[in-house]
Amino acid sequence: MTRELMWLTLTIILTGVLWIPYVVDRIMIKGVMGAMANPSRNDPPQSPWAQRLYFAHTNAVENLIVFAPLVLILDTQGISTEGTAITCAVYFWARLAHAVVYVMGIPVLRTLAFTVGFLAQAALVLAVFGKL
């Protein structure tokens, strides 16, 4: 497995577990049976941090749709350089930072973390076309 695929795998795992604390909060607020019921307009609201985590998770999924194919295209092309490996690592850490600062409610750092992740994706696009 290339380092790029390893970072993709870690990013998929991160994205795949971001929902867990949100559901735990839902159980704490609504109880187990309430958490398994269909949503209702009369439901008590989730904790503010859990609401932010929900949005962080949604954003992570949306960006995984861009990141994963780029890594897979690079792998299919046989491109694995120090630059592409570092870029994939930067993307992973930016996504982790994005989730953490989003949950903490720090908007400026959240935007910076998102931007770093976006720039990593842009760098991978350049690598696909042999420019990195």
Q: What is the pLDDT of residues 105-117, one digit of tens each?
A: 999 999 999 999 9
Q: Mean pLDDT across the chain, nearest whole number? A: 96
Is the confidence at residue 60, as pLDDT, over 80? yes
Q: Domains of the chain: which residue ranges?
A: 3-36+47-128
- Mean local confidence (pLDDT), 93-100: 98
Give the pLDDT confidence score for residue 10 in this predicted structure.
98
Is the confidence at residue 132, as pLDDT, over 80? no
**Number of CB atoms found within 10 A of residue 71's CB:** 25
Q: How far apart are the first and last CA of the chain?
A: 21
Q: Give the integer Cα–Cα distance in Å for 92 and 100.
A: 13
The CATH code that applies to domain 3-36+47-128 is 1.20.120.550
Give the pLDDT confidence score for residue 86 in this predicted structure.
98
The DSSP call for residue 42 is T
Identify residue 71 by its one-letter amino acid code: V
